[in-house]
Structure 1
Amino acid sequence: MPNEIAIYSLTATGALLAHRLKASLEADSYVLERYAVEGDIPFNYLAELITDKFSVYRSHIFISASGIAVRSIAPHLKNKAEDPAIVVLDQQGHFAVSLVSGHLGGANELAGLIAEIIGATAVITTATDCAGVPSIDLLAKDRGLVIGDLGSIKHINAALLDGVKVAVYDPDGVMKIKKSSKHFYIVDTAEELRGLRCGVHIDWRRSDLPESVLCLYPRCLTLGVGCRRGVPAKEILELIESTLKINDVAVQSVLCMGTIDAKNDEDGLIEAADILGLDLNFFSAAELDEITVTKPSGMVMKHMGVGSVCEAAAMKLANAKGILIPKTKSARVTVALAKAVSGL
């Protein structure tokens, strides 16, 4: 597996610091060619190198002036959900500065780790960390929640910084908020979030709420799919999308997709899963036959040797005893959704 961290050093002293960090962090060390030794990856032009490597690594460490790092990464920055972590070190190793993607990208955590390894001071400037209050984007990341609108984060973090308790709708208790929490309180319905300064909505259901309400989606749903031979991805996706829409299901909460192993060479299914960014799991007829569904199909039994494909696959993936969204079908495709009791 390739390394996920890249280190860039531009001086001989910086190269020595990179060598100290490389082994501890399992990183690739890029060193200006005139200072590179065995084990380093030499380069001559930093801007060209960053253009080539920016999206390859999850984290980048610059042993350089912060201005050099900023100018190198500026053309490639997108948003806090996509940008990799950027940390800058001075060549003497006195300071480890979290520069970009402190929370979601993990730059704050990486700066702290680097500081421990080389005895540096971690420099963290994100407001919530400096104020000692929780950051909603970091809480979401830690709990495996998908953030809906990144722009809504600012409303929540601003309220927390102002010392305002934030209302949270969390029917499944994903956030595990205690009654004694100094920062959050639970409301019983999503409607209670309307009219408040801000709020957090945590659910697999879509909801039409103001921009000041941050929607977070737990990845707790599994999608089972069946289809006839040769069905194109477009037809499969149309039924999936319409089923999610009709049932107010957020696509962000769908974790994975499953079907029978007789379809493991079905191009349309494979392409549909790829477009949705979902892992596609295959189960044998015997595995699916272990799952009890309410309305097994004689036609499916005749062709597949099992009473259900889409419902059974969804329930198998979720380790659930019941179905959330029963089989929905079009002319050549069937889909169903199950929900894991305590997440996956």
Structure 2
Amino acid sequence: MSNPYAAVAITKHGVEMVRNMAGQFPGTDVYYMTKFARGDEQQLGYNMFEGSVKLILPDLFKRYNGIILFISLGAVVRMIAPLLVDKKVDPAVLVIDDRGEHVISVLSGHLGGANELTRQVAEVLGARPVITTASDVQGTIPVDLFGRELGWIVDSFDKATPVSAAVVNEEPVALIQETGERNWWKYDKPVPDHIRTFHSMAETESFAFNAALVISDRLLTDEEQQRFMSNGVLYRPKSLVLGMGCNRGTSLEELEQEVLATLAEQNLSVKSVRNIATIDLKKDEEGLLALCQKYDWELVTYAPAELNTVTLPNPSETVFKYTGAYGVSEPAALLSSGADHWLLEKKKSGNLTISIARIPFKP
């Protein structure tokens, strides 16, 4: 797949629109029937096909993130029905009428991005976007997409459907945000009254809710799991920074084992780790680089002089002798996170030291 989107036309007017759109909407591969060829398709990189479009749809479903079809809605529904697997993996599917008046989000509106793609294509074509997803129409929280643009990870998805129903049906919903970005509300109006926001689970004691949205980097207790996750969705913001120091040549296996064990001891989720921070002497440390690659973390490094700007309760002359810094994991964690204190000041184990800090997000 050279581009994320495929645009397909099967009529004369559709071909005209798809050709015009291709020049204004980068990242789109064009497909239309050979009988509408104009002779410049090879030069432009357009794809021709013979026979029914139904024959090429299975391949397009596998290859593209989004499929834009200049075909009638009813025909599209019949053709894609046998191809549907799950909303977590199905591509976004859009339908555009033969006059280019309406762009309709048909499939994978949230997780697949069809709703946002619909808005973008409609703007290019000067058409009207048609989106029927309840949370978009009502202007409320899209449970299955909540926090995605902020980097949040959904840690428990099995209750997404009933929780979404509670949100759009205006049932009492508890939104507990212990950490993470606070600028998640995207509408120019207040959060709906039936969604009550709390800073901790303890604050919900007197609130009878039908569903819960929990934003936390903590591992929930059994009691919290039962109370909030029986009909709730848990989101993991990228709120933790691991400050690390290690001996040269420390293996990926040792680093990973100790990181996971330390986070578990602190009742913190590995899914909420944003990055590792260390001294610039370790910028080429193979074990650290491999760990960051495995978990898709950034490795942030600091010069000794930068690390020494942080006042440490227990500065080390030994560390200073070898690195020029009085500490590595502790100051690196604070500098990278912007915090003024540690969740874990320092833990030394084997060939490494670990410190943990939580990013102080603005209200």
TM range (shorter): 0.7 to 0.9
Query: What amino acid maps onto 2:152 in structure 1?
Result: L
* Counterpart mapping for 1:202-281 below 5 A: 202-208=215-221, 209=225, 210-281=229-300
Residues 7 and 27, structure 1, Cα contact 8 Å, conserved in 2: no
Shift of residue 249 of structure 1? 0.9
The corresponding residue for 1:50 is 60
Deviation at 1:68, TM superposition (A): 7.8
1:89 deviates by 2.8
Q: Residue 200 of structure 1 corresponds to which residue in structure 2? A: 213
Residue 88 of structure 1 corresponds to 95
In the TM superposition, residue 242 of structure 1 has moved relative to its aligned partner by 0.7
Distance 1:23 1:342, change over 3 A: farther
1:25 aligns with 2:44: no
Q: Which amino acid aligns with 1:252?
A: K
Whether the 8 Å CA contact 1:285–1:304 is kept in 2: the answer is: yes
Do the aligned residues in 2 keep the contact of 1:8 with 1:31 (CA within 8 Å)? Answer: yes
1:149 aligns with 2:156: yes
The SS at the match of 1:38 is: helix
TM-score (norm. length: structure 1): 0.83
CA distance in 1, matches of 2:43, 2:334: 53
Residues 180/63 of structure 1: CA separation in 2 closer, same or farther (3 Å cut): closer
Alpha-carbon distance in structure 1 between the residues aligned to 2:3 and 2:199: 45
Match of 2:106 among 76, 84, 99: 99
**Residues 221/60 of structure 1: CA separation in 2 closer, same or farther (3 Å cut):** farther
The aligned amino acid for 1:285 is P
Q: Does structure 1 retain, via aligned residues, the 8 Å contact 2:329–2:346?
A: yes
Q: CA deviation at 1:24?
A: 2.9
Residue by residue, what CA displacement relative to the aligned partner does 1:155-208 show, whole Å, maximum 9, x if unpaired?
A: 321112322121122245855689974231134642547984221212221214
Structure number with bigger Rg:
2
Among 160, 173, 177, the alignment partner of 2:167 is 160
Find the aligned partners of 1:292 and 1:214 in 2 and give their Cα distance: 39
C-alpha contact 1:28 1:40 (8 A) present in aligned 2: no
Gaps of 5+ in 2: 50-54
Q: 1:106 to 1:263 in 2, by over 3 A?
A: same
Per-residue deviation, residues 261-290 of structure 1 (Å, max 9, x unmatched): 222222211111111111122222222222
Relative to structure 1, the CA distance from residue 274 to residue 181 in structure 2 (aligned partners, 3 Å threshold; closer, same or farther) is same
**Equivalent pair of 2:173/2:194 in contact (CA under 8 Å):** yes
Alpha-carbon distance between aligned partners in 2 of 1:270 and 1:116, rounded to the nearest angstrom: 42
- 2:298 equivalent to 1:288: no
1:310 aligns with 2:329: yes
- Match in the other structure for 1:115: 122
SS in 2 for 1:211: coil
Quick one: structure 1 residues 181 and 174, their matched pair in 2 at CA, closer, same or farther if it must change by over 3 Å? farther
Choose the corresponding residue for 1:70, options 65, 69, 80: 80
User: Would the aligned equivalents of 2:252 and 2:291 in 1 still touch at CA under 8 Å?
Assistant: yes
**Alignment check: 8 A CA contact 1:174 1:202 kept:** no
- Whether contact under 8 Å (1:220, 1:340) holds in the other structure is yes
| Matched-pair contact (CA < 8 Å) for 2:179–2:217 | no
Q: Which runs of 4+ in 1 moved over 6 A?
A: 176-180
> Identical aligned pairs, as a percentage?
27
Q: For residue 29 of structure 1, what is the amino acid of its counterpart?
A: D
Aligned partners of 1:143 and 1:175 also within 8 Å? no
1:19 and 1:29 in contact (8 A); partners too: no
Q: Contact (CA 8 Å) 1:18, 1:29: kept in 2 or not?
A: no
Q: How many Å apart are 1:112 and its aligned residue? A: 2.0
SS, match of residue 341 in structure 2: coil
Residue 137 of structure 1 aligns to a residue in which SS?
coil
Amino acid at match of 2:60: I
Question: Displacement, 1:73?
Answer: 5.8
Q: State the shift of 1:111 in Å.
A: 0.7
In 1, the alpha carbon distance for the partners of 2:270 and 2:70 equals 40
Structure 1 residues 121 and 188, CA, compared in 2 at 3 Å: closer, same or farther?
closer
Q: TM-score, normalised by structure 2?
A: 0.79
Name stretches of at least 5 consecutive residues in structure 1 with no aligned partner: none
Q: CA deviation at 1:331?
A: 0.6
Q: Give the corresponding residue for 2:341.
A: 322
Cα 1:43–1:265 shift into 2, 3 Å: farther
Q: 1:227 to 1:33 in 2, by over 3 A?
A: farther
Q: Cα gap change, 1:101/1:67 in structure 2, threshold over 3 Å: closer, same or farther?
A: closer
- How many aligned residue pairs are there? 336
Tell me how far 1:37 sits from its aligned partner: 5.1
Q: Please report how far the alpha carbon of residue 33 of structure 1 lies from its aligned counterpart in structure 2 after TM superposition.
A: 7.6
* Residues 202, 51 of structure 1: alpha-carbon distance in 2 compared, 3 angstrom cutoff: closer
Contact 1:222 1:337 in 2 (8 A): yes
1:98 CA displacement: 1.6
Contact 1:244 1:250 in 2 (8 A): yes
* Contact 1:259 1:282 (8 Å CA) reproduced: yes
